[in-house]
Amino acid sequence: MHRILNNTKGDRWIWLIVILLSVISLLAVYSSVATLAFKQGKGVEILLMKHIFMILGGIVLMYVSHKLDYRYYAGISKVMMIVTIPLLLYTLVFGSHINNASRWIAIPGTGLSFQTSDLAKLALITYLARTLSRKQENIKDVKESFLPIMGSVCLVFILIALANLSTALMLFGVSILLLIIGRISIRQIAITCGAGLILLLGVIFLGPRRHTYISRVNVFLHPELAKADKSFQSDHAKIAIASGGIFGKGPGNSTERNYLPESYSDEIYAIIIEEYGLVGGLTVVGIYLFLLYRCIKIVTKAPKAFGALLACGLSFSLTIQAFANMAVAVGLGPVTGVPLPLVSMGGTSILFTSIAFGIILSVSKDIEEGKKEKSEPKRDNTGPNKIIVGEIRTA
C-alpha cells in the first residue's frame, strides 16, 4: 500500500474524490440495476461485477494517464482530432441505434458499445488548449488562429448535436469558456456563438431528432399539458426525490427504481436521493463542488498556459456534466441522456472520464514537481558536500 501511494502523484484530494464517487457508484448501481438484470435475464451480481471491472479499468487508465507528462497530450490531441471526425461521421451513418439515437459504435466480440462523443470531448478540449497556448503571439489573426479554432468547434458541435444535443451544447459552452480564457477577441467569440446558434436552430428544426428535442422542451415548459407517457421519466424522478425525505429510505429500499427508465444511468441521482435523502443528495453536490474548487486551484498554479487551459477545460466539462445530470433529475431542465460522471453505470464513458481525471492529475503532478525542484538547495560544485543555502533553481 505504501508503495502504491508513493507512485500516485498529483492532488491527493482529487484521488479521494475519485474513490468516494466510485463507492457511491457501486452502492447506487447495485441498488438500481435489478430491473435491467430482469430484462436481460441476468443476475444483479453479474451486472455489478461488470460495473466493478469498468471502475477498476478506469482507475488503471487514470493512473497511466497521470504518469504521462501532460505536455505529451498536446501532440496526441492532433491525432485524436484526426481520428474523432471520421468516427463521428461513421457513428451518424452506421452507428448502433439505442433509444432512437445513433451515438454508439459496437465493439465486435466484446458486447460493449463505444460512444464517440466521449472521445470527441477529450479530443476537442485538448486540441483547443494546445492551439490557444501556441497561438498566443498571433491570437487575433483570423487565418492563422481564429478559423482553425472556430472550424473545429463548430464541426464537432454539429456532428455530435445531430444525435446528442445536450452533450454538444455542454461541449460548446466549455469551448467558449476556453476561448475567453485564451484571449480570443470578443468579436471573434461573438461570431463563433452566432455560428453555433445557427447550427443549433438547424439541428432543432431540421435535424433527424427534431421531434424528440421539441417534445422534450415542450414537456419541460408545459408539464401540465404533456401526455403521461411523455412526462413519465421526469414524473417518477420527482416522486423518488420527494419520497426520500431528509435521510432517505435506506440503501436498497428504492421503489422508483422499478419504474424509472435508465435509473442506473441518467436518473441515478434521483435514486441516490430516494435512498439517502437530502443528506445524500447534498453530499454528492458537495463532492462535485469540491472537485471544481481543487481543479481551479490547479489552474491558477499551473506554470504553463497549456496545462492551465487543459485542466480548466476538462474540469469544467466534468462538473458541468454532473450538474446538468442533477438538474434534470430534480426537474430544473428537460430530459437528457447525460450520465453522472463516475457514478452512473456505463462502459466507455467511465473510461474516458477516468482519463480526463488522469490528465488533470498530470498537470497537478507537474506543479508539485516544480515546487519540489525549486525548494531543493543547489550544491556547490567547488567542494564536496557544500550547499549554497537559500539559493533555488528556476525552471
Q: Is residue 394 part of a domain?
A: no
- If one counts the domains in the chain, the total is 1
- Least Cα distance to 120 among 66, 72, 160 occurs for 160
- Least Cα distance to 276 among 243, 320, 317 occurs for 243
In angstroms, the CA 105 to CA 115 distance is 6
In angstroms, the CA 65 to CA 85 distance is 23
pLDDT value for 1: 52
Helix, coil or strand: residue 174:
helix
- Host H or E run for residue 115: strand 112-115
Q: Is residue 217 part of a domain?
A: yes
β-partners of residue 324 are none
More confident residue, 269 or 394: 269
Average pLDDT score over residue span 74-81 = 89
In angstroms, the CA 341 to CA 348 distance is 11
| Cβ-based burial of 110 (10 A; exposed 0-12, middle 13-18, buried ≥19) | exposed
Q: Is residue 339 part of a domain?
A: yes
Q: Which of the four pLDDT bands, split at 50, 70 and 90, describes residue 393?
A: very low
Write the pLDDT tens digit of every residue in 81-103.
999 999 999 888 877 766 666 67
More confident residue, 357 or 370: 357
Q: Is residue 223 part of a domain?
A: yes
Phi, psi of 102 (to 5 degrees): -95, 85
| Mean per-residue pLDDT of the chain | 84
Q: Is residue 191 part of a domain?
A: yes
Q: Residues 66, 362: contact at Cβ < 8 Å?
A: yes
Residues in the chain: 395
Write the pLDDT tens digit of every residue in 180-202.
988 888 888 899 999 999 999 99
If one counts every other C-beta atom within 10 angstroms of the C-beta of residue 105, the result is 18
- Least Cα distance to 119 among 63, 76, 151 occurs for 76
Q: Is residue 395 part of a domain?
A: no
Q: Which of the four pLDDT bands, split at 50, 70 and 90, describes residue 395?
A: very low
C-alpha pair distances (Å), 297 with each of 42, 272, 291, 312, 360: 45, 29, 10, 10, 11
β-partners of residue 387 are 379
Q: Is residue 219 part of a domain?
A: yes
Among 60-64, 124-128, 234-238, which stretch is predicted with the lowest mean pLDDT? 234-238
Helix 44-67 vs helix 348-375: crossing angle, to nearest 10: 30
Write the pLDDT tens digit of every residue in 29-53.
988 888 778 777 787 888 889 889 9
User: Cell triple for residue 32?
Assistant: 438500481
Average pLDDT score over residue span 358-369 = 88
Average pLDDT score over residue span 367-376 = 69
Q: Domain containing 32: what range?
A: 2-388
pLDDT of residue 115 exceeding 90: no
Torsion of the alpha carbons at 54, 57, 58 and 61, rounded to the nearest 10: -160
In angstroms, the CA 348 to CA 115 distance is 7
- Least Cα distance to 179 among 140, 144, 143, 121 occurs for 140
Q: What is the DSSP string of 39-51?
A: HHT--HHHHHHHH
Percent of the chain with pLDDT over 70: 87
pLDDT of residue 288 exceeding 80: yes
